[in-house]
Amino acid sequence: MFKKFIAFCLIALAVYWSFRVLLPSQISNLDTPDSEFSTDRALVHLKEISKAPHYLGNEEHTRVRDYIITQLENLGLETEVQEGYSMSQWGNLSKPKNILARIKGHDSGKALLLLTHYDSNPHSSLGASDAGSGVVTIIEGIRAFLHVGKEPKNDIIILISDGEELGLNGADIFVNKHPWAKDVGLVLNFEARGSGGPSYMLIETNQGNANLMKDFVAANPEYPVANSLAYSIYKMLPNDTDLTRFREDGDIDGFNFAFIDDHFDYHAAMDSYERLDRNTLEHQGSYLMPLLNYFSDADLDNLKSNDDYIYFNVPLFKTVIYPFSWIFPMLTLAIIFFIFLIIYGFKEERLLGTQIGKGFIAFLISLILSVLVGFFLWKLLSILYPQYSEMLHGFTYNGHSYIAAFICLSLAISFYIYHKFYQQEHVASLLIAPLSIWLLICVGVAFKLKGAGFFIIPLLFGLLSLLVLIRQKQPNLILMALLSFPVITIMSPLAKMFPVGLGLKILFVSCMVVVLIFGLLVPVFGFFKHKNRLSALFMIGSIWFLVSAHINSKFTEDSPKPNSLLYVLDSNSNSAVWATYDNLLDDWTKSKLTDQPEPALELQKNTIGSKYKSGFTFLKAAPVFQISEPKIEITHDTIVDGFRRLAVCFISNRHAERIEVFSDSTSIFKQATINGVAAKITDSTNTVFNERFNNRLFSYYVADNEPLDMIFTVPINQTTHLQFYEATYNLVGNSLLGVKSRNNNMIPKPFVLNDAIVIKTALDIK
């Protein structure tokens, strides 16, 4: 009994350890030596940077830019500002203003570039994490580096980019237009998609990662959090960072360092100085300093490689790496070892066919039932708590409680099922099923998802456990618990990572991971007679966390409801509506939309959509207020090579902050140039704007109140319909429209055009 208790405690300790090593436990204070990174010193800058939203084009954006320049110049650096128009692959046009500085090295090799961005997401995000945290990490890191007084071998370029939130626009003009871009050999990029948790390292490269990973391990950061599976998944998602432009346009390799927990703060007004996790900022600094010291003196001319490495982090060993070429030999070894153990087990009469069959029944029921319950329970919870749909990124304020509840539920199911199959003398037979499923998974990833190749490590230790079970009728449970450490320490963080990174809709994957881990713990738990008691314990835990989630399901001042409201004036019909993206109206939105709003069917035809493809939901007729309308004129109209060439100028009379341009899908555009930037031609059709969502051509994010100049080349007999939405973010508190400020338990909904006064204007060119 005592050994069972110790074994259980060791497993619990391994789970705790697997998370404990992901983040520093203490932050560096103001008394930290000047030659070292100090989180508290970095926070002094962050407090200044994140006082107010500072998106491209507003006054705070200029103040933050000037502040950063001053801090760099105070370090003795000479700065410059690069600006120019850029149209992203997302169809967003802007004029970013990048901040640049350079530290000269004593060699003529490639330069190391430190990268982050200083613009916050329009229009309400304070940008403390995304990416004020990156800005202050670099400022404080460079200060500590320069204080040592050591001249680096390589030049160090600092790029604090602009317009990242709009479509990587600042990175675009640097990589494609700045002469320094050709000097860059490696990029270290600091990002955020939440306000806490460990910072994940993700590689960006067009070729193999072998040399990059060797150097990363040699640099020896204290708290590495990285695995090749995470990057394999990252590459499948429509998420990009500034570093993507370096890889795609410049074939320049780099490392991303991004934290993703507390995802509910992402791009929201809650991304504040107060809510940024201090340990997370310390983690960013713990990456920067060793990597800056290492790569400032490394050979950056030979980072390219044709080989890829598997990599993952584990306590004690930090980052473990090995070549992709080992995947099939290790898999072959596992298969041979597995077959040998089965033969050996039957020969020693430690394996029985009937008991192996029962093991498959137990494991498959546990796995399938846990996944199904996880999938449909979240569907049910989404119905019971419709307010969750207002959080477009899919991670609720009580999301961590749901993760804990679903993990406990999966453990409760597994313990209960295996209780029904308890026979201490047949534990070896029960282990065959999970080993078989793990082996099939490893075969699958070897062919389809090589980044998950490290799954073979838990499998190999599971096979060692099977060997012990075959050789010993009463194995030492402490030894069996120790053999389970690899599966626990490698896989446990994944159970949390998936729903944090991909949203709570993916909770069923966490359930699957938990059962897979449990399967390799059968050599320990198989000897527990009263697994039903542990099942009851974890079921109580699941209910506890579900109750906790319920108690915290309401929107409060600390967990406010995202909502949206716009005033849309149609200048052609001289009519206006109030509009929203919300599914559930509240007191603030009902003040204009009333209790009986109308479906926003008309506005959905040309939807000012969101990152998550959501459109307007409700509208209500509104009074027509006198608002300065834009001036739109055709300044040039001629025939060139059988096509009609039109020049259209859009001038805002109210300092527009965003202009959306639409045209129905029947309109064909042979070529287009917007503020001097040529739209990308689609190879298959040799036209531009060929693939557009809800008829949107592009969006223009305005800086310096500059007009929108468009040159279109269209078929000669085409009637071209253009529709413009001109927006300013001054709806709330506007005395003319009478929109009051939100309650304290509400914030502007991110990812959509919000708090905007919009003028809709149509132009038909016949």
Assigned domain for 3 exists: no
Assigned domain for 361 exists: yes
Please answer whether residues 617 and 581 qualify as being in contact, where contact means their C-beta atoms are separated by less than 8 angstroms.
yes
Assigned domain for 342 exists: yes
| Same-domain status, 462 and 482 | yes
**Could you report the per-residue pLDDT of 164-193, keeping only the tens digit for each?**
999 999 999 999 999 999 999 999 999 999
Domain ranges, residue 448: 328-551
d(CA 311, CA 318): 10
Assigned domain for 729 exists: yes
Of 183-187, 231-235, 695-699, minimum mean pLDDT range: 231-235
At 89, the pLDDT band (50, 70, 90 cuts) reads: confident
| Same-domain status, 284 and 389 | no
| Same-domain status, 255 and 336 | no
Assigned domain for 6 exists: no
Residue in 556, 759, 748 with CA at minimum distance from that of residue 650: 759
Assigned domain for 7 exists: no
Which helix (H) or strand (E) segment is 746 a member of? strand 746-748
Please answer whether residues 278 and 41 qualify as being in contact, where contact means their C-beta atoms are separated by less than 8 angstroms.
no
**Could you report the per-residue pLDDT of 145-171, keeping only the tens digit for each?**
999 999 999 999 999 999 999 999 999
**Could you report the per-residue pLDDT of 713-747, keeping only the tens digit for each?**
999 999 999 999 999 999 998 888 999 999 999 99
Phi-psi region of 168 (alpha: psi -120 to 50; beta: other; left: phi over 0): left
**Could you report the per-residue pLDDT of 479-506, keeping only the tens digit for each?**
999 999 999 999 999 999 999 989 999 9
Q: For residue 218, what is the domain's CATH number?
A: 3.40.630.10
| Same-domain status, 473 and 594 | no
Residue 182 sits at the vertex; the CA angle it makes with 176 and 187, to the nearest 5 degrees, is 90
Assigned domain for 314 exists: no
| Same-domain status, 662 and 698 | yes
The two beta strands, 111-117 and 184-192, are parallel
In the predicted model, is pLDDT for residue 707 greater than 70? Answer: yes
| Same-domain status, 577 and 460 | no
In the predicted model, is pLDDT for residue 239 greater than 70? Answer: no
Q: Which two tokens stand for residue 374?
A: 């996880």
What pLDDT does residue 607 have? 64
Identify the DSSP state of 120. Answer: P
**Could you report the per-residue pLDDT of 603-615, keeping only the tens digit for each?**
766 667 666 777 8
Of 356-360, 449-453, 520-524, 680-684, minimum mean pLDDT range: 680-684
Mean pLDDT of all residues in 681-685: 80
| Same-domain status, 303 and 348 | no
| Same-domain status, 139 and 203 | yes
Express the helix, strand and coil content of the chain in percent, nearest 5 each. Answer: 45, 20, 35
Tell me what percent of the residues of the chain surpass a pLDDT of 70.
98
Number of domains in the chain: 3
Identify the DSSP state of 285. Answer: H
At 225, the pLDDT band (50, 70, 90 cuts) reads: very high
List, in order, residues 6 or more apart from 743 with CB less than 8 Å away: 587, 588
What pLDDT does residue 642 have? 85
Q: Which two tokens stand for residue 727?
A: 């927006």
At 233, the pLDDT band (50, 70, 90 cuts) reads: confident
Which residue, 504, 529, 551, sits at the end of a domain? Answer: 551
CA distances from 625 to 511, 725, 762 (A): 54, 16, 18
Which helix (H) or strand (E) segment is 271 a member of? none
| Same-domain status, 520 and 585 | no
At 237, the pLDDT band (50, 70, 90 cuts) reads: low
More confident residue, 685 or 94: 94
Q: What is the mean pLDDT of the chain?
A: 94
What pLDDT does residue 609 have? 65
Please answer whether residues 107 and 300 qualify as being in contact, where contact means their C-beta atoms are separated by less than 8 angstroms.
no
d(CA 431, CA 487): 14
In the predicted model, is pLDDT for residue 507 greater than 90? Answer: yes
| Same-domain status, 393 and 293 | no
Mean pLDDT of all residues in 203-209: 91
What pLDDT does residue 641 have? 85
What pLDDT does residue 610 have? 67
Which residue, 251, 274, 307, sits at the end of a domain? Answer: 307
In the predicted model, is pLDDT for residue 684 greater than 90? Answer: no
List, in order, residues 6 or more apart from 98 with CB less than 8 Å away: 81, 82, 83, 159, 160, 161, 162, 170, 173, 174, 178
What pLDDT does residue 70 have? 98
What is the chain's Cα-based Rg? Answer: 29
| Same-domain status, 242 and 272 | yes
| Same-domain status, 32 and 122 | yes
d(CA 160, CA 189): 10
Query: Which residues are bridge partners to 310 per DSSP?
Result: 322
Which helix (H) or strand (E) segment is 247 a member of? helix 242-250
Assigned domain for 238 exists: yes
In the predicted model, is pLDDT for residue 274 greater than 90? Answer: yes
